[in-house]
């Protein structure tokens, strides 16, 4: 140590200013000072960024979890196909709590059989230590880049070796290191600024998510942790699979296909991908439709039962109660002009009830079937899945009878059909509904809040298009501005009780 100090002094004198040395205390700091000043001088000379050296205790504290992470990363890549840079910070933060949690917990286990009260005293501080570890883990997992997807298996391992071989020369040269630090810092700053505005997905308390599947329908209805009822699959398997993964759905007890048009069933294999599907519900009026036949063959091959929807059938999954309200078995499914309209009008229509409100999922119903439904029995709903992507074939009486406050429209940007029709948007506004569109806002979530339900758009990535129908003028990046709050419905409208039958239910 003395030798090192002596060298420091000699070097300091030889290279330039020595004020720090002669005025400073004769201890290790003197060495650091002169050494740093010398290096700063040479950095200035080269015009390069020089980071201040880390204090020794910080370097040591970081080195241990970093070394542990380096050791386990190849195993994690082989097993899980991901890299977790955030683990270093998380391990650093939980390190002080690990020993107390382990030792106190172990002590409590030893003491408990002979002295339960003493064990209780030991468990309380152990609980705080464990609580800290859980808190850090929860916080860390939500950080940007908490986990970086990485190819799994041997290719992933090879890529990891390659990345290390590239990183080592970069980190060894000061100039390259400065560039690398600047790039990483800029990327982190960009993500940290964008992420908090974008918020987590799905939002807390979500009840239903309308996926942005382009031109088509794909809905996810909450059915408990990791589970959801899926209503239609959109046209593209990859898009539907991605939307379900974003929401964290790996179990689908029920898949409802409203009707066998490609924009509603084309993505079915995306729902089946790595997921258990309990049963598929289809419309009773789909005899001879080409898409329907293909789906039946596919489901039979996978031994997934296919059920025919009949009005009044009701299921309860987690927070959601679903009731089939259409098509009526006696309607014959033969109204509307042209084959397309006939199939649309035979859509399975679901009424979904939650503790805080309800929704009507109207498939692609057109005017005739909407009027038919209106005359069969009254339906009330807080949220309307606007039938047929907001086409102009809507019954004003039917839409008005629902008493809904928000309309969700699943529609592709720039579609050839002219959906949603300006006349329908005008009608919905006149009826007092706030309109939310997937082509403008991306995925839409219906959430249960403190005082009722709200609609939260996910936002289209890095787009600055206007959200909603111009009421709020909010942009995609201002998600919270686009929320439509809906007060809890009055008791007479949706009385929630086990004895209660929904008003849409046929008696």
Q: Angle at Cα 175 formed by Cα 171 and Cα 172, nearest 5°?
A: 25
Please say which residue, 265 or 453, places its beta carbon nearer to Zn ion. 265
Beta strands 206-210 and 228-233: pairing type? unpaired
Least gap, CB of 410 to Zn ion (angstroms)? 8
Q: Which stretch binds Zn ion (CB under 5 A): 74-82, 263-271, 351-359, 480-488?
A: 263-271
Least distance between Zn ion and beta carbon 212 (Å)? 15
Which residues, 6+ apart, have CB-to-CB distance to 125 below 8 Å? Answer: 100, 104
| 3-class secondary structure, 8 | helix
Q: Output 202 or 387, the one with its CB closest to Zn ion.
A: 387
Among 263, 368, 382, 469, binds Zn ion (CB under 5 A): 263
Q: How far is the CB of 342 from Zn ion (least distance, A)?
A: 14
User: Which CB sits closer to Zn ion, 259 or 353?
Assistant: 259
Kindly indicate which of the ranges 24-32, 250-258, 356-364, 456-464 contains the residues binding Zn ion, using the contact rule CB under 5 A.
356-364
State which residue, 214 or 457, has the beta carbon closest to Zn ion.
214
In which residue are the tokens 């200013």 written?
Answer: 17
Which span sits near Zn ion by CB under 5 A: 130-138, 316-324, 360-368, 491-499? Answer: 360-368
- Positive or negative, the Cα torsion across 54, 60, 65, 68? positive
Burial label for 444, CB within 10 Å (0-12, 13-18, 19+), is: buried
Q: Considering the rule CB under 5 A, would residue 439 count as an interface residue with Zn ion?
A: no
Find the part of the chain contacting Zn ion (CB under 5 A) among 137-145, 256-264, 374-382, 488-496.
256-264
Stretch that binds Zn ion, among 156-164, 257-265, 349-357, 414-422 (CB under 5 A): 257-265
Which residues are CB-contacts of 247 (< 8 A; sequence separation ≥ 6)? Answer: 201, 202, 206, 209, 220, 228
Nearer to Zn ion, 263 or 368 (CB): 263
Residue 106 CB neighbours (<10 A): 12
498: how many CB neighbours lie within 10 A of its CB? 4
Site membership for Zn ion, residue 364 (CB under 5 A): yes
232 near Zn ion, rule: CB under 5 A? no
Least distance to Zn ion from the beta carbon of 219, Å? Answer: 12
Q: Write phi, then psi, for 342 (nearest 5 degrees).
A: -60, -45
Please state the closest distance from residue 216 (CB atom) to Zn ion, in A: 6
CB of 143 to Zn ion, least distance (A): 39
Helical ranges in 173-313 per DSSP H: 174-198, 237-247, 262-265, 268-272, 290-301
Which residues are near Zn ion by CB under 5 A?
263, 364
């Amino acid at each position: 140590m003395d030798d090192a100090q002596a060298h420091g002094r000699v070097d300091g004198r030889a290279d330039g200013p020595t004020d720090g040395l002669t005025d400073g205390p004769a201890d290790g700091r003197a060495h650091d000072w002169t050494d740093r000043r010398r290096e700063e001088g040479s950095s200035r000379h080269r015009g390069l960024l020089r980071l201040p050296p880390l204090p020794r205790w910080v370097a040591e504290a970081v080195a241990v979890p970093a070394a542990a992470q380096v050791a386990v990363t190849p195993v994690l890549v082989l097993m899980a196909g991901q890299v977790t840079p955030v683990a270093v910070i998380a391990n650093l933060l939980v390190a002080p709590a690990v020993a107390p949690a382990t030792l106190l917990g172990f002590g409590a286990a030893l003491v408990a059989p002979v002295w339960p009260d003493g064990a209780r005293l030991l468990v309380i501080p152990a609980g705080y230590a464990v609580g800290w570890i859980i808190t850090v883990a929860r916080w860390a997992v939500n950080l940007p880049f908490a986990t970086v997807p990485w190819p799994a298996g041997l290719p992933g391992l090879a890529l990891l070796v390659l990345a290390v071989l590239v990183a080592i020369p970069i980190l060894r040269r000061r100039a390259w290191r400065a560039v690398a630090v600047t790039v990483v810092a800029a990327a982190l700053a960009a993500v940290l600024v964008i992420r908090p505005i974008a918020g987590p997905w799905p939002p807390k308390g979500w009840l239903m998510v309308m996926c942005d599947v382009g031109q088509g329908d794909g809905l996810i209805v909450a059915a408990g942790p990791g589970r959801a009822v899926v209503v239609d699959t959109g046209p593209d398997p990859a898009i539907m699979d991605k939307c379900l993964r974003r929401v964290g759905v790996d179990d689908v007890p029920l898949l409802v296909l409203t009707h066998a048009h490609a924009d509603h069933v084309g993505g079915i294999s995306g729902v089946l991908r790595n997921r258990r599907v309990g049963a598929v519900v289809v419309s009773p009026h789909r005899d001879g439709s080409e898409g329907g036949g293909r789906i039946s063959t596919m489901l039979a091959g996978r031994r997934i039962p296919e059920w025919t929807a009949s009005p009044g059938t009701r299921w309860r999954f987690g927070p959601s109660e679903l009731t089939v309200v259409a098509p009526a078995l006696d309607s014959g499914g033969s109204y509307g002009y042209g084959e397309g309209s006939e199939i649309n009008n035979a859509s399975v229509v679901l009424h979904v009830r939650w503790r805080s409100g309800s929704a009507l999922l109207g498939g692609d119903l057109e005017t005739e079937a909407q009027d038919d439904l209106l005359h069969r029995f009254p339906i009330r709903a807080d949220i309307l899945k606007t039938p047929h992507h907001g086409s102009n074939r809507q019954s004003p009486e039917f839409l008005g009878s629902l008493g809904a406050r928000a309309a969700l429209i699943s529609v592709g940007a720039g579609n050839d059909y002219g959906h949603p029709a300006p006349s329908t948007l005008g009608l919905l506004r006149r009826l007092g509904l706030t309109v939310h569109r997937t082509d403008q806002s991306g995925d839409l979530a219906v959430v249960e809040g403190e005082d009722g339900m709200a609609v939260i758009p996910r936002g289209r990535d890095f787009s600055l298009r206007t959200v909603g129908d111009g009421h709020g003028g909010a942009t995609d990046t201002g998600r919270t501005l686009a929320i439509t709050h809906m007060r809890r419905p009055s008791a007479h409208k949706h009385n929630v009780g086990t004895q209660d039958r929904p008003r849409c239910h046929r008696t």
